[in-house]
Homo-oligomer: A and B are copies of this chain.
Amino acid sequence: MSEHQGSLIVISGASGVGKSTVIAEVLKNRKDIYFSVSWTTRQARVGELNGVNYHFTDRAEFEEMIRRDEFLEYAEYVGNYYGTSKKIVEEKLSQGQDVLLDIEVQGAAKVKENCSYAILVFIIPPSFEELERRLRARKTDNEKKIEERLQRSREEYQEISHYDYIVINNQVEMAAKEIEAILTAERCRVSKRINITKGV
């Protein structure tokens, strides 16, 4: 990693934890952060825009991109593909910009494998009861899907020790402030700033 590179921050968290809302708040406060929009084969939800929330695509095209080695990571999750474009992330980092990725646990592990300098952040709900309440309030999934997501979240908790930071989404503003503090702190890392002290 070049010492002039931006930080690569990966955000994971259970469906329904409010990850997108927290990330939107961070991006509102920190215009200097580049948010990498993922590719997915899942259906767009009401209000979601192509190129903004996700790059929506179909399985055939996604699998073609896999063959062309265009993903930093990709994973299949609850029947759909999700992937991160390698080229744009590397470009932004080398320009010294911090890059934020919203990726589930499998994908985050792959990013860490490829980029050992990646910083992994896990957003958790204040409690599992609250997560269930939020998932139902969202009204985007049927009962089976909700159960699937809750089960998946419990499994993902087992992986949390591979992460660097845990952010609790009790209040969106507080959770966003914690992520912003992590971004600021990571910029102060000796590995990022050691060059300033050289040649004195």
Contact = CB atoms under 8 A, between A and B. Distances in A.
Contact of A184 (B181, B190, B192, B197): B181
Kindly state the interface size class of chain A when it binds its partner: 20 to 34
Interface stretch (A90-98, A102-110, A163-171): A163-171
B160 A197 contact: yes
Is chain A's interface secondary structure helix, strand, loop, or mixed overall?
helix
Given A160-B190, A166-B188, 10 more contacts: A157-B200, A165-B189, A165-B190, A166-B196, A167-B188, A168-B193, A178-B185, A178-B188, A180-B181, A181-B181
Contacts of A177: 184
A60 interface: no
How many copies of this chain does the complex contain? 2
A46 interface: no
A157 B188 contact: no
A194 B128 contact: no
Closest A-B pairs by Cβ, 7 of them = A181-B184, A185-B185, A166-B193, A181-B181, A165-B188, A182-B185, A181-B185
Interface of A: 121-122, 124, 128, 154, 157, 160-161, 163-168, 177-178, 180-182, 184-186, 188-190, 192-194, 196-197, 200
B194 A161 contact: yes
B185 A186 contact: yes
Contacts of A166: 188-190, 192-194, 196-197
A167 B189 CA distance: 9
A16 to B, nearest CB: 14
Contacts of A181: 180-182, 184-185, 188
Contacts of A178: 184-185, 188
A188 B182 contact: yes
